[in-house]
Amino acid sequence: MNKDFDVLDIKGKRFLYSKKVEDHFFNPRNILDEKIDIGQFNGKAEIGSPACGDVMKVFLLIDPKTKRILDFKWKTFGCASAIASTSILSEMAIGKTIDQAYCITADQIVKALGGLPQKKIHCSVLGDHALRAAIDNFRKH
């Protein structure tokens, strides 16, 4: 077995995850803390469906002058891949301009995670859509 991957048993199903996915799942970065006032964020979006199991809420703090993402908080309800994807996406987006962040793709998220099981790729696609929706929300105001 490759030392960069682990087999995780999640709800009776076994998936081969990279160590990076495992790290972001068990130690998510930039997750929304219940103590944080979401009113300070000027780009917000919710994407997904509770019926399918994955829902992502994204909150961006964007500098109105430079259009740079200063902070990215999120809350994801879903599988390990969805949580890890949103966590790494937050790291990828902070510090970028909204035009740069808008160009982040699902493939880039998967690559940054060191890969995802084929059946879990759809989880990373939600992340880039949620980021774009939050940027679009900012642009409307």
Residue 77 sits at φ, ψ, to 5 deg, of -110, 110
Domains and CATH numbers, the chain: 5-139 (3.90.1010.10)
Catalytic residues: 52, 123
CB atoms within 10 A of CB 22: 17
The string of pLDDT tens digits covering residues 26-51 is 999 999 998 899 999 999 999 987 76
| pLDDT score for 3 | 54
pTM of the predicted model as reported, rounded to 2 decimal places: 0.85
The string of pLDDT tens digits covering residues 1-27 is 445 544 545 545 545 678 888 899 899
Q: Contact 78/52 with Cβ under 8 angstroms?
A: no
Q: Contact 85/113 with Cβ under 8 angstroms?
A: yes
Residue carrying structure tokens 């949580």: 83
